Amino acid sequence: MNLLNLFKKKKSYICELMNNHLHFSCRNALEPCCSANVGPAFVSDLSNRESINDFVKEKMKYIKMLKDGEIPSNCKNCVHLKPFEKTTDFRINKITLNHYTQCNCACIYCTQGNRTFEKIKEDENKPVLFDVLKFINELYDNDLIDKQKLYIDFQGGNISCLKNHEEIINTFLHRGVGTIYIPTNNIVYLPVIEKLLVSKKGELCTALDSGYKETYLKIKQVDKFDKSIDNLKRYISAAGNDSIIIKYIIVNGYNDNLDEFKMFMDKMIELNVKIIVVDIDYRDIIDGAFTIPKHYYDIVHYAEQTCKEHHMDLGIPPYTKSVLERGYSIK
Ligand code: SF4
Ligand code: SF4
């Protein structure tokens, strides 16, 4: 062994997600992130968890490891690792709630589709994997939350199937929160979403993916196109259109044609929706070796033109943008 290596100073790192994020996962664990790497668990079994002090101790242990140049095995090669910078604020400013796995539709591209999702009836509530509220209240009690910045991201299944969604949302509103992001299939109208939108604390995002109900049925596997549109109308008339995001995920062989997309855009104009996101089915992006067909560009081009004409915002997620720019996806 080269003796000099013994005295070489190890590089120090920092991970913002490790410092300030919390992910309540469907693996029953509490983790810093839900990135592809999935970092170390701060608490490995929340249904049988240790005290809040144990969580803080564990978290600070990993932060120190990074500072000392010891990268936890789950974090190796992660893009979120950055050169060390001194920071003193370790309060939580983002919480992802991924502790439930039920949904009342079955999108063919759902990440959870082939794993834990159970297709359930529209009005049926299933129990969650574990109780997040007790832990969240303790975080507030111990001043471990940055209330101004706190961003809540409901992932998991669909929020209408989460038994205590209303109680969770009301707890955040009562104890202090910046923004609550609600991805929803919008099949069930929820007064608490309307309340959030009216209070300007919420963002609703729904993937409609279609202009015709027949296409919706093929993609979502439930016949709820009209219901979803009606619910959108209700939210917009109660709270305006500032915080409502409608997605069109281009799914190969299902909705990847200009006629469908034009119909979708006509509906959005009629509903006075102001924020559109165009994306590509992640399976084509992540699985790799997918050459973007010309008609995908026609759809994106039509989206750009129509949004400009009607003063709508168009979002294209960064990774999708880079795939569109290079013309193909790689694994
Ligand atoms: S370095 Fe990556 S894997 Fe590790 S905690 Fe941060 S985001 Fe997660
Ligand atoms: S609405 Fe969301 S959670 Fe439900 S099946 Fe579709 S992608 Fe999955």
pLDDT tens for residues 173-187?
Answer: 999 999 999 999 999
- Please name every residue paired with 328 in a beta bridge, in sequence order, or none if there are none: 291
Identity of the highest mean pLDDT range in 51-60, 77-86, 162-171, 271-280: 271-280
pLDDT category at 99 given cuts 50, 70, 90 is confident
Which ligand minimizes its atom distance to the CA of 279?
A: 2
Strands (E), the chain: 13-14, 21-24, 30-31, 82-83, 94-97, 102-103, 118-119, 151-154, 179-183, 202-207, 244-250, 275-280, 290-291, 313-315, 328-329
CA 304 to ligand 2 center in whole angstroms? 26
pLDDT number for residue 70: 95
CA 171 to ligand 1 center in whole angstroms? 28
Question: Closest Cα to residue 221, out of 117, 97, 100?
Answer: 117
Out of 1-15, 120-134, 199-213, which region has the weakest mean confidence (pLDDT)?
120-134
Which ligand minimizes its atom distance to the CA of 120?
A: 2
**pTM for the full model?**
0.90
pLDDT number for residue 124: 52
**Does the pLDDT at position 5 exceed 80?**
no
If you ran DSSP here, which 8-state letter would residue 188 be given? S
Rounded to an integer, what distance in angstroms lies between the CA atom of residue 235 and that of residue 247? 16
Asked whether 186 and 231 are in contact (CB, 8 A), the reply is yes
Q: What mean pLDDT is predicted for residues 47-72? A: 89
Q: What mean pLDDT is predicted for residues 29-38? A: 79
Rounded to an integer, what distance in angstroms lies between the CA atom of residue 21 and that of residue 5? 35
Nearest CA to ligand 2 atom 6: 107
CA 107 to ligand 2 center in whole angstroms? 5
Q: What mean pLDDT is predicted for residues 280-299? A: 91
pLDDT number for residue 1: 53
pLDDT number for residue 303: 98
- Please name every residue paired with 277 in a beta bridge, in sequence order, or none if there are none: 247, 315
- Residues in contact with ligand 1 by the CB-under-6-Å rule are 15, 17-18, 32-33, 35, 37, 39, 74-75, 78, 80-81
Asked whether 5 and 60 are in contact (CB, 8 A), the reply is no
**Does the pLDDT at position 102 exceed 90?**
no
**Does the pLDDT at position 38 exceed 80?**
no
Q: What mean pLDDT is predicted for residues 55-60? A: 94
Nearest CA to ligand 1 atom 1: 75
CA 157 to ligand 2 center in whole angstroms? 6
- Residues in contact with ligand 2 by the CB-under-6-Å rule are 103, 105-107, 110, 112, 157-158, 185
Question: Closest Cα to residue 323, out of 301, 278, 291?
Answer: 291
| Mean model confidence pLDDT for the chain | 90
pLDDT category at 114 given cuts 50, 70, 90 is very low
